[in-house]
Amino acid sequence: MTRWGMVIDLDRCTGCGSCIAACHQENNLTAVGAPESTRDRGFHWLRLLREVSGSEREAKVRYLPQPCFHCDDPPCVRVCPVHATYLSEEGIVAQIYARCIGCRYCMAACPYNAKVFNWFEPEWPGEMRNKTNPDVSLRPKGVVEKCTFCHHRIVKAREEAAMQGREVEDGDVTPACAESCPAKAIAFGDLDDAESQVSQMSRSPRTFQLHDDLGTKPKVYYLAKTE
């Protein structure tokens, strides 16, 4: 069975943020604007966590691109009152925008704060409306959303493979963040396929995960020489 996962190599990541820009573009995320951002309404499916360590003289900063981890035991799915967020058979924690009632329980329950909320109606002023990606639905105000591992690209890759009469192979599916990364720091694929790139990378000695001690079984792995 396919289990989609991601590996992010922090020794390659430069913190440039192009993954975030690509994600915004690909998934029709609006800009909330500066005033709203100062009210902690920043709206990103993929964010750059900044870990600062060391002393004042020798500060060490490390950037972690953090998407939704698509946990295999998701706390958000457990608490949703209406089956609006659920774990698909392929390991994607999906969101049904049309059913979400906006109670934000999943936001309160996620230990990684991976979910964001449409506090206002998303606006596409003027020409901006033309830049939306037709493969990804537009969300109304009052619903929760989050990173989908670019699920629409998975669907597209599957269709193309079917047209060519074959199965989806490793490397066929690339989420927008992985595609845009200039350092090729993000890899995506089937964790259940022992031969796939992500599978092999996830078994590297440099691997760690964020807060996997909570039992959420996240499917995003980080690689770093130092933890």
Partner 1 sequence: MSEAHRLDQKEWLEPEFQDRDLLRSIEDSGVGFRVTTGLLMLVILTCWVLFGRQILYGLGVTGLNQPVAWGFYIVNFVFFIGISHAGTLISAILRLSQAEWRRPITRMAEVITVVVLGIGAFHPVLDLGRPERALNIFTAGRLQSPLLWDVSAISAYFMASTVYLYIPLIPDIAILRDRGAWPRWFYSFAAWGWQGTPRQHAVLERAVGIMMILVIPIAVSVHTVISYIFAMTLQPAWHSTIFGPYFVVGAIFSGIAALLIIMIVLRRIYHLERYLKQIHFDYLSRLLLVMSLLWFYFTFSEFLTAFFGNEPSEMRVFFYKFSGPYAPFFWGMVMCNFVVPVLILSFRRTRKIPGILIASILVVVGMWLERLNIVVPSLANPRLPLPTGFYIPSLVEWGMFAGGIATLILGFVVFARFFPLISIWEIQESREQSVRETTERLESYLPDRTRAVAESGSGGD
Helices and strands, counts by H and E, the chain: 7, 10
Cβ proximity to partner 1, 62 vs 156, nearer residue: 62
Binding of partner 1 by 80 (CB under 8 A): yes
**For residues 23 and 178, is the Cβ–Cβ distance under 8 A?**
no
Radius of gyration of the chain (CA): 18
**Given 21, 109, 136, 224, the residue binding partner 1 (CB under 8 A):** 109
Please identify which residue in the block is written with the tokens 């964010």. 47
Among 129, 166, 184, 211, binds partner 1 (CB under 8 A): 211
Shortest Å, Cβ 51 to partner 1: 5
Residue 104 CB, shortest distance to partner 1, in Å, is 4
Question: Among residues 12, 72, 90, 111, which is the contact residue for partner 1, using CB under 8 A?
Answer: 111
Beta bridge partners of 46: none
Partnered with residue 86 across adjacent β-strands are 94
Q: Does 17 bind partner 1 (CB under 8 A)?
A: no
| Phi-psi domain of 17 (left: phi exceeds 0; alpha: psi -120 through 50; beta: other) | left
**Distance in Å, CB of 31 to partner 1, minimum:** 14
Q: Which amino acid is at 88?
A: S
Q: Does 141 bind partner 1 (CB under 8 A)?
A: yes
Residue number with CB closer to partner 1 (28 or 118): 118
Any idea what the Cα angle at residue 153 is, between residues 182 and 199, rounded to 5°? 65
Per CB under 8 A, does 148 bind partner 1? no
95 within 8 A of 146, measured Cβ to Cβ? yes
**# residues near partner 1 by CB under 8 A:** 47
